[in-house]
A and B are shown apart, each in its own frame.
Chain A
Amino acid sequence: MQLTNRKIVVSNKEQSFMERLYLPAIAKGMMITLSHLFKKSPTIDYPKVKRPIAPVFRGQHVLKRDDNGAERCTSCGMCAVACPAEAITMTSGERKKGEEHLYREEKYAATYEINMLRCIFCGLCEEACPKEAIFLTDRLVDVDFERNDFIYGKDKLVEKMTERIDVTKRQTPEVLEFKKIPGLKHNELFDGNKLNKGNKH
């Protein structure tokens, strides 16, 4: 049975004089390597030059604040439920009086941890979030030496008001349109008026 037409019949025939000279073959080989001297290297000088990434690249997460600087996350746990890798854990806290500028709603995430070694960067947490609080960004998770250091807490995840992180790329018109599909509960909550009529799984 013939699978490819690259079959070569092995033969032990005597080498001809030209073949035994080896020099023509060596010259041929040298010309091949020489031709590579003039080819362009495909190497990318990584830290200096970065390859373009997809607009919807899924990298390190961010916990967004609203325009007043209050955290959007209400510690509902939807992201942790959605997470297929079980990378997200959180504990809830209750907002005290005078903390309105810190937390958007009465309940907030006292701690919020994502284990970056467990995370598979699927983006399901982002889809599940009813408060538009968690987003995946185009940042890469830094390399570290200790496993514990890969568990990112609120100190690393919550964005600072001085250096806000742009997530508009993650909210392209297509994405916003996608989020309007019935069954994605958070849109209805986002719209405010409608009650949850989504499908129950």
Chain B
Amino acid sequence: MTELLIYKGIMCVAVFLLALGVAAYATLWERKFAAFLQDRKGPSRAGPGGIFQPLADGVKMFMKEEIIPNVSNRSLFILGPCLFMITAVMTSVVIPWAKPVMVNGHMYDLQITDVNIGVIYLLGVVSIGVYGIMIGGWASNNKYALLGAVRASSQMISYEIAMGIALIALIISSGGSLSLKDIIEGQDEGVCNFVWQPLGFLIFFICALAETNRAPFDLPECETELVGGYHTEYSSMKLGLFLFAEYINMFISSAIMAGFYFGGYNFPFANELYSAMGLEEGSWLISLIGFGAYFTKIVLFICLFMWVRWTLPRFRYDQLMNLGWKILLPLSLLNLLITVVIEYFRGNIHF
């Protein structure tokens, strides 16, 4: 029992720190990447190449004056960013980071917990994330914040549907399990799910952009129209939590996309490589290499998120709704239909 608690404790802390660390450096990399795309240099003063910029930003956020508007609903105002942050971190619970490791004759999954309805858990937690923004925007008692919050919630709810249907198609073609571990393990040998689900991936990616409130779907916080969107009234670290949670969301959705569609910690000829190196199952090195592969994919996806952000202009609200309801939803249904037909002929489903 104590062994289990220690293992779970270590995993929780490790994944939490990983998510926070990646999110912190994603803020720096976002600015750097934007600068590179725009022929600039980006932050370069804090440490070599600006490597300590996230620390400086963090200190700045903590040192800033904290303002809670008189007219706001105080408790909800504080609850908003907390909820958003908590749900952002909670999604990382079900993600398997690497192959199991053998310690003292026990196999330990490098995953906080393997829920057998992991996909549903993910969708559930992601949809709770709306509440953080909604409550925060509403409690501010500011029309811009409220508009941003309304936009955020309608956008996230709209795109969750197409996302869910794209995931159903994925689950059908990957063997029917809702556990993330099974989905990733299913891509161990052979091809990754992207080969069978290219359209599904495209839909999922677009929905992930909308769910994380990233450009070109960053209407909830569009500066040109809504001052700061739902976090207009926020200052100090509460604003920091909102911004930070956005990057954690981005990290987690990159991890989910890399896991669902691109094999997670599997990579082509992985098993051949391991046997050539003489590694047995449960070896630390296998997990390390697998995690490296997974992490590389995640970083590439984060770069893709940023690349999209610094290329495409923001959607208009009606265009956003049109895209979500009139294009992505029928397209995901079509994808589901095609998947079912293909899987029937592949012999994976029987009537």
Contact = CB atoms under 8 A, between A and B. Distances in A.
A43 B307 CA distance: 21
A80 B133 CA distance: 65
Interface string B3-20: 000000000000000000
Contacts of A41: 35-36, 39-41
Interface in B1-52: 35-41, 44
Contacts, number: 32
B28 to A, nearest CB: 17
A155 interface: no
Contacts of A43: 40-41
Contact of A29 (B36, B40, B41, B312): B312
A94 to B, nearest CB: 53
A37 interface: yes
Interface residues of B, number: 13
B310 interface: yes
Contacts of A40: 39
Contact of A39 (B39, B308, B311): B39
Contact of A36 (B36, B44, B312): B36
A30 B311 CA distance: 6
Interface residues of A, number: 14
Nearest to A28: B311
Contacts of B308: 30
Interface in B36-77: 36-41, 44
B175 to A, nearest CB: 29
A169 to B, nearest CB: 31
Nearest to A20: B327
A197 B350 CA distance: 114
16 contacts: A29-B311, A29-B312, A30-B307, A30-B308, A33-B307, A34-B37, A34-B307, A36-B36, A36-B37, A36-B39, A37-B37, A39-B39, A41-B35, A41-B41, A43-B40, A45-B44
Interface of A: 26, 29-30, 32-34, 36-37, 39-43, 45
